[in-house]
Amino acid sequence: MNGFSPALCAHIQRVREWGRAEVRPAGLEADRSGAPLPADHPYFAKYMGFRREHLPALEDDSVPEGPAVRMVAFNEENAYWDRGMGVAAPGPGLPSRIVATSGTPDQRERFLGPFRGTDQPRWGSFALTEPGGGSDTAAFRTRATRTDRGYLLNGAKCFIGNAARADWVLVQANLDPEKGRAGQRAFFVQHGNRGMTGIKIEKKMGLRAYESVSFILEDCEVPHENILGGERPAQASRSGAYAETMGTLNTTRVGVAASAVGMARSAYDEALGFAKASGAIRTARVRDRLEAMHRQLRAAWLMTLRAAWKADRKIPNIVDASMAKVFAAETAQDLASAGMEIVGLEAGAGHHLVEKLFRDAKALNIVEGTGQIQRIIMGRSLVGLPR
């Protein structure tokens, strides 16, 4: 159905088996307890084994698909079983690519090295969002001040994934507010660093399996060598390190779309399974609803796949990526809601997976650029919408 190579299909099949056996139950456990699984939960140790054995699939030369298509294939399958557990997975996470591309050799060794060749679950984290600025990154107020001993960070960050359990959090702060976004740099704040206070693990509607953390930076001092990329002169480009960071986020947008598709497929399968088991499938009303769900799901997947396919061929895909992100996220919401309609009061009872998906899916249209931001990005390309 997806036209993937046998080699990639084989890898996806292993992710599927792992997802069915481990990820789904762990996600449900976290959801029902209302909190992320603790860092020492046996799941994470098992995950490290799975990761050691199967994650090299992403670099498997026998897989002919490009890296972006592989990423969306894995993300889709992972999120089908539990999106929250995917975010909770140990590893350097989102900032790994930023550190790999923008970090100094010493930083790559110090901050990414410990993640290699270990069976010990450990996490990295990336802190961008602030209470007063989500999509409007120019409104960020966290400041960095250079001193003789290092940098003092002051401000607040919120909704930061895995930040309480992370070995380090890469914090975005403005070193030169007069330059606006161009003054932004990123700083490694290590676990237990004095001045990182008020750590609060948020209570969420959905995606409860991973920590969303808010914290305050109060004269939080980090050494000079903890500024990402080192103490180089100001970037020649207009927006400097900010552009580097946002560039990385752009590449992950299609991955988020794929996760949304996986969640949507999960909702569809739950609804279809229920309709078949209950006999509701015999009514035209339910079949029509399922047909519309399936059609939307297929379109979302094709959009996502095409955006990734273009990325692998270096074909400009800004519009495709934003389109996939917004459409897939809205599809996940739509299908989870329609799925609840089909499952009916069983969904209302609060124990059905489709109800959890309904709560989980909403976040996908908010994270990494809301649906409105994606439309603005598309509007800039399609009609030259002014900045």
Partner 1 sequence: MDFAQSESDDIIAETIGRFAVDELRPRLREFEAARSVSKAVRDSYAMLGFEGFDLPEDAGGAGLGMLSRIRTNRLLAEADAGAALALDRFAPAVYVIEAFGGIAALKSFEAMLGRPDSRFALVMDDGAGISSGARVEGEAAWVPATHADVLVGLGPHGAWVLQEGFAFEPVAGAALHAAGASRVRYTGAPIHAWHDPALAARALAKIRLYYASLIWGVLTDAAGFSRTYALDRVAFGKPIAHHQALAFLIVDMYVAVERVGLLIEDAARAIDAADDRAVGAAAAAFVDAVEASRFVGSNGVQILGGHGFMRDFPVEKAMRDARALGLLAGGCDAAREDAGAALAAIPLRAVA
Please give the residue ranges that form the binding site for partner 1 (CB under 8 A).
Answer: 1-4, 272, 275-276, 281-282, 284, 287-288, 290-291, 294-295, 298-299, 302-303, 305-306, 309-310, 323, 326-327, 372, 375-376, 378-379, 382-386
CA distance 324 to 261: 10
CA distance 103 to 152: 20
Closer residue to partner 1 in complex, CB, 284/345: 284
What does the block give as tokens for 365?
């249209």
Residue type, 155: G
Helical H segments across 23-177, by residue range: 24-33, 42-54, 67-88, 95-102, 105-107
Beta carbon of residue 291, minimum distance to partner 1 (angstroms, whole number): 4
What element of type H or E holds 361?
helix 353-361
C-alpha distances in angstroms, 352 versus 132, 272, 355?
35, 14, 6
CA distance 48 to 71: 19
The burial of 147, by beta-carbon neighbours within 10 Å (0-12 exposed, 13-18 middle, 19 or more buried), is given as exposed
Closer residue to partner 1 in complex, CB, 201/302: 302
CA distance 141 to 131: 9
Beta carbon of residue 236, minimum distance to partner 1 (angstroms, whole number): 31
What does the block give as tokens for 50?
């799975």
Residue type, 341: E
Closer residue to partner 1 in complex, CB, 125/322: 322
What does the block give as tokens for 58?
């992403």
Closer residue to partner 1 in complex, CB, 47/80: 80
Give φ, ψ of 218 to 5 degrees: -125, 100
Give φ, ψ of 143 to 5 degrees: -115, 145
Contact 209, 88 (CB under 8 A): yes
Beta carbon of residue 378, minimum distance to partner 1 (angstroms, whole number): 5
Closer residue to partner 1 in complex, CB, 189/308: 308
Closer residue to partner 1 in complex, CB, 226/304: 304
Give φ, ψ of 198 to 5 degrees: 60, 30
Which of 346, 343, 333, 337 lies closest to 300 in space, CA to CA?
Answer: 333
Beta carbon of residue 159, minimum distance to partner 1 (angstroms, whole number): 25
Closer residue to partner 1 in complex, CB, 158/326: 326
Beta carbon of residue 341, minimum distance to partner 1 (angstroms, whole number): 15
Contact 67, 5 (CB under 8 A): no
Residues involved in catalysis: 368
Q: How many CA atoms lie within 13 A of 236 on its CB side?
A: 0
